[in-house]
């Protein structure tokens, strides 16, 4: 009997914590729904220019790397593949439908951290793109660093040249690896 009260109190605390997490995730999904949904990958996205196995880390609001965006197909960390096509980058993540990150407005950079994932400097590939009317950043990790560098170079090559001023480098998403050392 003397252990029953503490055990019941512990159960109540665990249930309240789980309820709070569920309500918090539901509110985040509702806020994400206002942003829109990612474009589904077309059946024929064109020639595959590069492909890589990836660990999808998160999609966050641009400039706010702790604010996860919870939209269909991009709400949870997952393994999958990413392919570069002339139209953009197709993310095909386990448990979801393939989505297209359009080449128009795409920016490619590197990061060291996103949400709760910290890796070696520049260990995350950071793709900045527009979801609806909101800029977001998608962080990916490639298990093979050489494949990640190749993927990054090819992804940069599909960015429309009209988005840059001739003779200047395209603007890159904020590089979290450099900003941490400054």
pLDDT in tens, 55-87: 999 999 998 888 888 888 888 899 999 999 999
Torsion angle of the four alpha carbons 38, 68, 57, 161, in this order, in degrees rounded to the nearest 10: 50
Mark whether 114 and 65 lie in a shared domain.
yes
Give Cα 43 to chain centroid, integer Å.
22
For residues 55 and 77, is the Cβ–Cβ distance under 8 A?
Answer: yes
117, two tokens: 């994932």
Give Cα 108 to chain centroid, integer Å.
12
For residues 88 and 100, is the Cβ–Cβ distance under 8 A?
Answer: yes
Mark whether 85 and 43 lie in a shared domain.
yes
Mark whether 135 and 94 lie in a shared domain.
yes
Mark whether 51 and 24 lie in a shared domain.
no
Output 152 or 181, whichever has higher pLDDT.
152
Please give the pLDDT value at position 142. Answer: 93
For residues 130 and 136, is the Cβ–Cβ distance under 8 A?
Answer: yes
Characterize the bridge pairing of strands 107-111 and 113-114: unpaired
Report phi then psi at 20, rounded to 5: -60, -40
* Angle in degrees, CA 118, 121, 122, rounded to 5: 95
Please give the pLDDT value at position 171. Answer: 43
**What's this model's pTM, rounded to 2 decimal places?**
0.76
111, two tokens: 């990061």
Q: Is the pLDDT at 7 greater than 60, yes or no?
A: yes
Please give the pLDDT value at position 174. Answer: 52
Mark whether 2 and 26 lie in a shared domain.
yes
Nearest to residue 173, comparing CAs of 133, 114, 118, 116?
114
106, two tokens: 């795409």
Mark whether 105 and 24 lie in a shared domain.
no
Mark whether 171 and 83 lie in a shared domain.
yes
| Cα–Cα distance, 72 to 30 (Å, whole number) | 11
What domain range is 15 assigned to?
1-34
Mark whether 153 and 118 lie in a shared domain.
yes
How crowded is the C-beta side of 97, counted as CA atoms within 13 Å? 11
Number of structural domains (the chain) is: 2
Output 69 or 33, whichever has higher pLDDT.
69
Mark whether 24 and 92 lie in a shared domain.
no
| CATH number for 174 | 2.30.29.30
Mark whether 6 and 20 lie in a shared domain.
yes
């Amino acid at each position: 009997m003397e252990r029953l009260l503490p055990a019941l109190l512990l159960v109540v605390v665990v249930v309240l914590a789980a309820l709070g997490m569920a309500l918090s995730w539901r509110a985040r999904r509702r806020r994400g729904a206002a942003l829109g949904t990612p474009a589904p990958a077309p059946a024929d996205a064109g020639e595959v220019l590069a492909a890589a196995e990836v660990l999808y880390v998160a999609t966050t609001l641009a400039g706010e790397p702790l604010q996860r965006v919870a939209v269909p197909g991009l709400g949870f960390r997952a393994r999958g593949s990413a392919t570069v096509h002339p139209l953009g980058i197709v993310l095909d993540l386990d448990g979801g439908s393939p989505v297209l990150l359009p080449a128009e407005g795409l920016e490619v950079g590197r990061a060291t951290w996103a949400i709760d994932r910290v890796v070696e400097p520049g260990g995350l590939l950071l793709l900045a793109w527009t979801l609806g009317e909101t800029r977001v950043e998608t962080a990916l990790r490639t298990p093979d660093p050489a494949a990640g560098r190749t993927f990054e170079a090819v992804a940069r090559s599909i960015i429309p040249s009209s988005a840059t001023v001739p003779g200047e480098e395209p603007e890159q998403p904020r590089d979290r690896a450099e900003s941490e050392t400054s």
